[in-house]
Amino acid sequence: MMTIADMKIGTSGKIKKVHGNGALRRRIMDMGLINGTEVSLNKLAPLGDPMELSVKGYKLSMRKEDAKMIELV
């Protein structure tokens, strides 16, 4: 299973499933990270966390721990 946390800079993938439950899952989905959405990894912070993603034409910063919940095709 590949997740957003496993992506390399400059790569992209399509979201297959958002794991988890409750408020965190809802918050991730409210940011536009839903099944079928294309996502690209632009940058990593110096220590690798957080990550800068491109989603639906905007940039989004996400912690690696949260990114591990998002499975890619």
Q: Count the neighbouring beta carbons within 10 Å of the beta carbon of residue 41.
A: 21
Label residue 26 by pLDDT band (50, 70, 90). very high
The reported pLDDT for the residue numbered 52 is 97
Distance CA 40, CA 43 (A): 9
Fold (topology level) of 2-72: SH3 type barrels. (2.30.30)
Q: Is the peptide bond before 46 cis (omega within 30 degrees of 0)?
A: no
Q: How far is CA 58 from the centre of its chain?
A: 13
Evaluate if residue 48 carries a pLDDT over 90: no
Distance CA 65, CA 57 (A): 23
Domain residue spans of the chain: 2-72
The reported pLDDT for the residue numbered 21 is 87
The mean pLDDT value of the chain amounts to 94
